[in-house]
A and B are shown apart, each in its own frame.
Chain A
Amino acid sequence: MALTTTYTDTRAATVGDYFALLKPRVMSLVIFTGLAGLVAAPGHIDLPTAFVALLCIAVAAGASGALNMAYESDIDALMSRTANRPIPAGRIARGEALGFGWTLSVAAVALMGLFVNFTAAALLAFTVFIYVGVYTLWLKRRTPQNIVIGGLSGALPPAIGWAAVTGSLSLAPLLLVAIIFLWTPPHFWALALWRSGDYARAGVPMMPVVRGKASTRRQILAYTAALIPLGLSPAAIGIAGPLYLACAGGIGAWFAAEAVSVFFERDEAKEPAAHRLFRVSLIYMFALFAALIAEHALHIAPFGAWA
């Protein structure tokens, strides 16, 4: 069945609408994790180059968001959470958003290659490819594993930040990538548990829609069980110290407790435990990377330096 969209808002696009296309909240998390990779990496990077690296990560993430909104405008129009976005609301034409997104993507990768290094630029291009090509265009409408595999794009910024300093990759940045990768399914499936009606209406095969809520709860618990110990591992390999360990342990325990609550939740209409898990997952991610940044900014030695 062909999808038809009724555009009702005839107001001209403002600068704010173009900014909204960049998904600023996602962009802020990506800048944050990219910065953590940048400061945790061994070696020196001058301030202007570090600024350009973060700018490129932010712009590429924003551009990917704009491309995602352009390619998914038909789905967005059908969901209450996204119906007022600039494209489904009719304020920005889909083609315009595509041009905006692709221009910014190419510019961000080119700038990263020119002024930082080609490893970081290649990783940045790979991130855009995973988010737009693999997640948005291929997996989103086909499989409930969409956010698991597509989550790799949101997980890569610490590796890009690390590569911006060192020009290479090692176990440490890949561990940070793995933490975000395992964090993504419980985070998004918690949201999907209480938004499952929206996703079902739009025909998006999210886990609760395809496999049911019971299966989603089990998988949230399984991913959380893998995530919490992995969240502690940066301290074990010597890139994080006591502040990080306290956050990863304390908030990790809170995260695990909420995942257990979600597993036993029986209020399927309101899903209060899923709401709480969604919030604590955001706190967990910000706290872990904030602790990592703070330890390096305040020169709190990582555990590796204590040996």
Chain B
Amino acid sequence: MAVAAMDEGKARRRRNIALALALGALVVLFYIMTMVRVHP
């Protein structure tokens, strides 16, 4: 039971990290594309 809860916690942490990375990448993408549009 405890092992299952630990696995669940690990999986959730990995999902959170992946989500944070995806959002971070989106911010970087918006920044780069704004620069490209402003200074073509």
A13 within 8 A of B: yes
Cα A244 to Cα B7 in complex, Å, equals: 51
User: Which bucket holds chain A's interface residue count?
Assistant: 10 to 19
Query: Given A11-B7, A12-B8, does the pair A52, B14 have CB atoms closer than 8 Å?
Result: no
Q: Flag if B36 contacts A49 (CB, 8 Å).
A: yes
Q: Flag if B15 contacts A13 (CB, 8 Å).
A: yes
Contact with B along A45-70 (1 / 0, CB 8 A): 01011001001000000000000000
Which residues between 1 and 29 of chain A lie within 8 Å of chain B, taking CB atoms?
11-15, 18
CB distance from A271 to the nearest CB of B (A): 40
Contacts between chains A and B (CB distance < 8 A), count: 30
A264 within 8 A of B: no
Which residues between 3 and 30 of chain B lie within 8 Å of chain A, taking CB atoms?
7-8, 11-12, 14-15, 18, 29
Q: Flag if B33 contacts A115 (CB, 8 Å).
A: yes
Chain B contact residues: over half helix, strand or loop, or mixed? helix
User: Which residues of A are found within 8 Å of B33, using beta-carbon distances?
Assistant: 48-49, 52, 114-115
CB distance from A4 to the nearest CB of B (A): 26
Query: Contacting A14 at CB < 8 Å: which of B15, B29, B36, B40?
Result: B15
User: Which residues of B are found within 8 Å of A18, using beta-carbon distances?
Assistant: 15, 18
Q: Flag if A15 contacts B36 (CB, 8 Å).
A: no
Counting chain A CB atoms within 10 Å of each CB, which of B7, B11, B18 scores highest? B11
Query: Contacting A48 at CB < 8 Å: which of B7, B12, B14, B32?
Result: B32
Cα A15 to Cα B22 in complex, Å, equals: 12
Q: Flag if A115 contacts B37 (CB, 8 Å).
A: yes
CB nearest to B18 among chain A residues: A15
CB distance from A40 to the nearest CB of B (A): 23
Listed by A's residue number, 21 A-B pairs whose Cβ atoms lie within 8 Å are A11-B7, A11-B11, A12-B7, A12-B8, A12-B11, A13-B11, A13-B15, A14-B14, A15-B14, A15-B15, A18-B15, A18-B18, A46-B40, A48-B32, A48-B36, A49-B36, A55-B29, A111-B29, A114-B33, A115-B33, A115-B37
B interface residue numbers (CB < 8 A to A): 7-8, 11-12, 14-15, 18, 29, 32-33, 36-37, 40
A interface residue numbers (CB < 8 A to B): 11-15, 18, 46, 48-49, 52, 55, 111, 114-115
The 3 closest A-B pairs by CB, nearest first: A12-B11, A15-B18, A12-B8
